[in-house]
Amino acid sequence: MDIGVVIKKYRKEAGMTQEEMANRLGVTTPAVNKWENSNSKPDIELLAPIARLLDISLDTLLSFHEKLSDTEIEEIIRKMDRMFSEEGYEKTYEWAMRLIKEYPNCNMLIWQAAVILDTRRITDKCTNPEKYDKQINVWYELALHDENEEIQHHAADSLFGFYLRKKDYAKAEKYLDYFSEHDPMKSYYRGRLLQEQGKIKEAYEKYENVIFSGFSTLNFVLSTMAGLALRENDIGYARFLSGKVQAVAHTLEMGKYNEYSPMLDIVCAGKDVEGTYKVVKHLLDNVGTMYDFRKSGLYKHMKFRDIDEAILDGVKEKLLEGFRNEEEFGYMAGYEPWEKLIFDR
């Protein structure tokens, strides 16, 4: 909102004439009239006295707003989207410039506006799209230094993509510092960086690492959900979730052991004698497959340490020790195949 419009609005709300306002500020009535008609603007030293006289903040006087709600930002972005089709890129860009001046502290708006302007100058009819580089990157950098980590990541993502397109790989890599080493997207972006530089084998390794670590995340979350379902006594839902863990392990070729293990808690919770026997037998017979992912083409560029057979033997012994636990597996007592499977080993 123009400062003249703001002055007129709050002057009237205060029940003050232009002449009264002029007298209080030590200026002429025509000067106030010119402000309100946007023919001129007050001198900078008058801004604070005007704000005090109208009982408003400087932010309100200058139409500076700290932030907008998510709903308001979504509506603004929808309006921008329509403007590209109706008025073209240049007018939409100028409108966005004015809008951001009105909301200079709303970094979520600034980032989203920058993203849509960045994308549209490539996909729409925009003459000389490079001339907008500097301003769009200024907006990205503003968002990058927001105290909100989510906005920081969004901006870092955008800046990484921008410099990757420009083939400025050193600058693109700099923005990966804003991502945690535990964030799988960091490995993915590094893969893209290596790919663009023609380092294909190294790129494959990064992408494969994302898949490999993704299994660990999915396995952990789905297993936790299954455990929660068991505590809620919802065995059907727990079985469904454990089935999803099995499917993920199968799809990502993590070995038979990792496919069978999710069902152990389910059969134990239901005290399913036949089911427990089958799952435990599969586990004991397939301990050696725990590292079968090393044979998968999905991870052929990754480097793994050599398998220590003693570790596998130790895992098997620990399993047997656990399965002999009468407190947990007491319901299996007297089941002849179980006695043979567990106690004869």
d(CA 268, CA 328): 8
* DSSP H helices in 166-183: 169-174
d(CA 248, CA 184): 17
Q: Could you tell me the two tokens for 118?
A: 């960045």
pLDDT digits (tens, 9 = 90+) for 86-114: 999 999 999 999 888 878 888 999 999 99
- CA-based end-to-end distance of the chain: 82
d(CA 109, CA 70): 9
Which helix H or strand E contains 263, and what residues bound it?
A: none
Please tell me which residue, 198 or 123, carries the higher pLDDT value: 198
Range in 118-132, 150-164, 197-211 with the lowest mean pLDDT = 118-132
Place 300 in a pLDDT band, splitting at 50, 70 and 90: very high
How high does pLDDT run on average in the chain?
91
The stretch 68-86 carries a mean pLDDT of 90
Q: Could you tell me the two tokens for 331?
A: 């319901």
Contact 152, 180 (CB under 8 A): no
**3-state class (DSSP) for residue 186:** helix
d(CA 153, CA 179): 7
CA atoms within 13 A on the CB side of 115: 17
